[in-house]
């Protein structure tokens, strides 16, 4: 499923993000043959357009994906959670980096497939930023707010609202579409059942919980409206 710049539907973006990750995960499972190794940090890297199935995606041209230990980034020393970063150079080269804590990095080296869900959520979040920058070049970034700990500004910036929400909805979509019992329950239970499930999902993840807890009342309303529209798109005909 290739990127479509004119789309403004969360349902399309969620399907796209999950589709890209499925290709990346396939490559990650056979990483010795696909990813290059950073000789300085031991981190892994790949051009996304070199992954099978992603060759012709316009958004992923000249975009690299790296998995690195946080020790390679001195500013992140002491952080207790995995973090992500993304950017676009003046020459148009794009990056997505997932940075793992020392404990996570050790586990990743020993059991590489056990951390895919953690890497997936950070990857999807950062790819959502690239979608924003492609459609809305002036949306800006939130690096300064993140560095200073200004959580209100950070979580309510349009770029972060969109990235966290798409990351969250992508997880909801995966869960529903891989569990027929849950899918049937939400289909027959309607909006109330969907919103109850969405609340359970958000409370089960520290990063989503912090995102929702820091939203302004205005953004909370906007987010709930987008979730409602996402539910209607996912379950046409449901009430």
5 lies in some domain: no
Q: Could you give the 3-state DSSP secondary structure of residue 235?
A: coil
The CA distance from 72 to 58, in Å, is 30
Q: Could you give the 3-state DSSP secondary structure of residue 157?
A: coil
Q: Is pLDDT of 147 > 80?
A: no
pLDDT band for position 97 (cuts 50, 70, 90): very high
2 lies in some domain: no
Same domain, 133 and 158: no
pLDDT band for position 5 (cuts 50, 70, 90): low
Average pLDDT over residues 115-129: 90
Portion of the chain with pLDDT greater than 90, in percent: 40
The parent domain of residue 209 ranges over 145-234
Contact 54/2 with Cβ under 8 angstroms?
Answer: no
Same domain, 155 and 129: no
- Please report the pLDDT score of residue 217 as a whole number: 96
The tokens 């409602």 sit on which residue? Answer: 228
Q: Which residues of 158-186 are buried (b: 16+ CB within 10 A; e: fewer)?
A: ebbbbbbbbbbbbbbbbebeeeeeeeeeb
pLDDT band for position 28 (cuts 50, 70, 90): confident
Residues paired with 65 in a beta bridge: 46, 96
Q: Is pLDDT of 192 > 60?
A: yes
Q: Which of 111, 138, 165 is the last residue of a domain?
A: 138
Same domain, 118 and 222: no
- Please report the pLDDT score of residue 239 as a whole number: 57
Portion of the chain with pLDDT greater than 70, in percent: 89
73 lies in some domain: yes
Using DSSP bridges, classify how beta strands 83-88 and 44-47 pair: parallel, antiparallel or unpaired: unpaired
Contact 46/28 with Cβ under 8 angstroms?
Answer: no
- Please report the pLDDT score of residue 16 as a whole number: 95
The CA distance from 200 to 177, in Å, is 17
Same domain, 74 and 153: no
- Please report the pLDDT score of residue 77 as a whole number: 61
- Please report the pLDDT score of residue 155 as a whole number: 92
- Please report the pLDDT score of residue 94 as a whole number: 92
Q: Which of 61-65, 93-97, 164-168, 190-194 has the lowest mean pLDDT?
A: 190-194
- Please report the pLDDT score of residue 145 as a whole number: 55
Q: Which of 123, 138, 153 is the last residue of a domain?
A: 138
Q: In whole numbers, what is the pLDDT of the chain averaged over residues?
A: 86
Burial of residue 65 (CB within 10 Å: 0-12, 13-18, 19+) is buried
Q: Is pLDDT of 3 > 80?
A: no
- Edge-to-edge order in the sheet of strand 83-88: 36-37, 44-47, 63-69, 94-100, 83-88
The torsion angles phi and psi of 61, rounded to 5 degrees, stand at -65, 135
Q: Which of 138, 172, 200 is the last residue of a domain?
A: 138
């Amino acid at each position: 499923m290739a990127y479509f710049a004119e789309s403004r539907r969360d349902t399309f973006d969620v399907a796209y993000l999950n589709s890209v990750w499925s290709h990346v995960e396939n490559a990650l499972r056979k990483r010795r043959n696909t990813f290059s190794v950073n000789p300085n940090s031991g981190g892994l890297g790949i051009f996304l357009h070199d992954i099978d199935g992603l060759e012709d995606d316009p958004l992923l041209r000249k975009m690299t994906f790296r998995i690195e230990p946080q020790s390679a980034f001195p500013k992140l020393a002491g952080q207790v959670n995995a973090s992500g970063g993304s950017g676009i150079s003046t020459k148009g080269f794009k990056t997505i980096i997932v940075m793992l804590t020392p404990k996570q990095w050790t586990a990743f080296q020993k059991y590489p497939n056990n951390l895919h869900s953690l890497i997936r959520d950070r990857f999807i979040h950062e790819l959502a930023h690239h979608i924003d920058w492609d459609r809305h070049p002036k949306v800006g970034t939130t690096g300064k707010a993140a560095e200073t700990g200004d959580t209100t500004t950070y979580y309510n910036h349009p770029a972060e609202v969109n990235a966290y929400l798409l990351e969250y909805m992508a997880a909801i979509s995966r869960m529903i579409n891989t569990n027929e019992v849950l899918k049937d329950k939400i289909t027959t239970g309607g909006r109330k059942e969907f919103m109850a499930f969405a609340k359970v999902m958000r409370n089960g993840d520290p990063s989503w919980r912090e995102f929702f807890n820091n939203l302004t009342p205005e953004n909370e309303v906007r987010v709930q409206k987008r979730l409602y529209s996402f539910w209607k798109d996912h379950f046409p005909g449901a009430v």
